[in-house]
Amino acid sequence: MKHSAPRGRQLKRLAFVGAAVVVAGLLVAPSSGTAQPPADPGTPPGVDEVASTPNIKQVAYLPKTGPFANSTNSDWAFQGHYAFGGNYNGFTVYDIKNPKAPVVAAQVLCPGSQNDVSVTGDLLFLATDSQRTNDSCNNSASTLAAPGDRWEGIKIFDISDPLTPKYLKSIKTDCGAHTQTLVPGKAGDNSAYIYVSSYNLAAADLPNCALPHDKISIIRVPLKDPAAAAVVATPVLFPDGGHPGGPSEEQQPTTGCHDITAYPEKDIAAGACMGDGVLFDISVRSAPRVITTVRDTVNFSFWHSATFNNRANKVVFTDELGGGGMATCNPEIGPTRGADAIYDIVGRGDNRKLEFRSYFKIPRLNTDFENCVAHNGSLIPVPGRDIMVQAWYQGGISVWDFTDSRAPKEIAYWERGPLSSTQFVSGGSWSAYWYNGFIYSNDIAKGMDVLELKDVRTNLARKARTDEFNAQTQDNFRNW
């Protein structure tokens, strides 16, 4: 669903926008569903039932509250003992000092899909990808204002006190900010760079998003003076126009990137750019350079996101077939569409190439009333192994091992049943990430889930600690 919401989507205007609303500590007993034994791959759990493997369990659950109760949850960022959860109406600050008893510490009302979040130091960045009447948090969806009067882009908040975030600055970007990637400056450059990914699915000029849109926007944020943040480059990544689309209607043409994952220590990034998978050199932060591209015109519809392994000699790309709004975990779609694709990075320097090795898709069937497709995940920091946790919307949360790129295998899963047994209702896990020993899932419809994984293959990861985590900014976990 990261690209399924229409641009300019109407959101209910909130009368008390922009203030941090502190909610009393709230903890609901885990599950929001009835625990069940592991499901047979052909028998999905029922409505309000939960199925999982024995090595993973839910240890906490918080439902969506207040003005976020009926709005879509999106991505995560983490810092210290706080989790920042995006929502189409703003973001929630969770205190996760005790992961088994998290509490809602604050809510910031600031409408604008998707509201992806990134954090660094005292700053939080919020990405807006719907045209708004203005750049404040007191805004509404804009469809009537002249194009130049519409706003979408990045907002910056001061989170030096996470309980009272303060809005500092906005930066307008062409075509909005669907996703964002935080890249720290190199030695001697006390800046953060934000790679802003956005795209145009309409195949026609749109206000604020004229074609051809074959670029990204790069914002430089001086960390000592964030109010001076500004767009410093808009590099054209696909001077030849990128993938033209087809041969099937499902295969999207490239008109920008959906998501970019950076590995700053290695000076590389991987781009999931609609019709293209891309490997970038980011040794010059404001001038990413394409090293190589790859296409899959047989099985991939929409290149959605990317994850490196820790050694950065593999990339997992995801295909968000149907934009997260379809039932694709069924026999009709099969095991190689709406899936992950594992590529090895071979060669050196500018001669590096991406070589396909295999697909991975969850080995369970969902009902026809559930949206299910590959979505956001992260590595689990297991030395010497390539293991990741991943959200699959209503397909649940999967932990899988791709150490052998040709033979990936699932080692754990946790799944809710459908939201309805009679009609299609979208929901499920948008993002599932590992942070300091636990898995945190932002469920579109339900809320926050915290899972604990106990498995001999991943036990080494339980003690790894980091002070900050943005999934699209990969660190070498051997430094944790």
| In the block, residue with structure tokens 């419809």 | 445
Q: Report the candidate in 175, 185, 171 with the shortest Cα–Cα distance to residue 282.
A: 185
pLDDT digit string, tens, across residues 362-416: 999 999 999 999 999 999 999 999 999 999 999 999 999 999 999 999 999 999 9
- CB-based contact 48:417 (threshold 8 Å): yes
Rounded mean pLDDT of 39-60? Answer: 88
Rounded mean pLDDT of 151-174? Answer: 97
Percent of the chain surpassing pLDDT 90: 85
pLDDT digit string, tens, across residues 309-368: 999 999 999 999 999 999 999 999 999 999 999 999 999 999 999 999 999 999 999 999
Rounded mean pLDDT of 161-172? Answer: 98
Pick the range with the lowest mean pLDDT from 130-144, 152-166, 448-462. Answer: 130-144
pLDDT digit string, tens, across residues 60-74: 999 999 999 999 999
Tell me the sheet residues that pair with 167: 157
The 3-state secondary structure of 212-232, one letter per residue: CCCECEEEEEECCCHHHCEEE
Is the pLDDT confidence value at 90 over 60? Answer: yes
List of residues 6+ apart from 413 with CB closer than 8 A: 52, 53, 56, 362, 364, 396, 397, 398, 399
Report the b/e string of 417-440 with b at 16+ CB within 10 A. Answer: bbbeeeeebbbbbbbbbbbbebbb
Q: Report the candidate in 455, 430, 460, 456 with the shortest Cα–Cα distance to residue 56.
A: 455
User: All domains of the chain, ordered by start, with CATH?
Assistant: 20-479 (2.130.10.10)
Assign 203 a pLDDT band (cuts: 50, 70, 90). Answer: confident
Q: Report the candidate in 448, 377, 382 with the shortest Cα–Cα distance to residue 413.
A: 377
pLDDT digit string, tens, across residues 219-270: 999 999 999 999 999 999 999 999 999 877 678 899 999 999 999 999 999 9
- CB-based contact 305:270 (threshold 8 Å): no
Tell me the sheet residues that pair with 372: 327
pLDDT of residue 144: 67
DSSP state of 320: -
- CB-based contact 374:320 (threshold 8 Å): yes
pLDDT of residue 321: 96
